[in-house]
Structure 1
Amino acid sequence: MTTVTEPRKTLSTGERQRQIEESVSRAMAVYKREGDAVRANTERLRALREAHEAANPALPLPRKGRKPVKGLQLAE
């Protein structure tokens, strides 16, 4: 069965321009909202990471390529 569609209404230049501006403003609002959400999440994750690093300081990594000197005691 074939569906009957209404013929498209031709829009004036001004009306078409208004529709484009509305579409752009909606898209820009979505873009800004998503960017704000990403920045908020990044800030939250950074705070969690910094708190974790403060609570659990990282041990210094051993230097590669050098053999320890025999008989030398390192202060702890």
Structure 2
Amino acid sequence: MHTPPCRGDLWGLSTVVLSFLDWPLRRALPGLACLSQARPCKPGSHAYDEKIAAEIWDVSAEYAGLPKAPQI
């Protein structure tokens, strides 16, 4: 499974933009229910899948130009 770099870049950019907007929106609109009632939720079962985790690790290492296994 390989994600095209542009898709990863888009995800990363949107995460940064939304992170910068989060706090100011919460301060500016304190009564807005969708912003003020954030709650933790349980992760899906896929969050504990070791095969998926290994694939994500390998793709991330490849994208970053790093070795897949730690160098000792």
User: TM-score scaled to structure 2, two decimals?
Assistant: 0.34
More helix by share: 2
> Which has the bigger relative contact order, CA under 8 A and spacing at least 6?
2
Bigger radius of gyration among the two: 1
User: TM-score scaled to structure 1, two decimals?
Assistant: 0.32
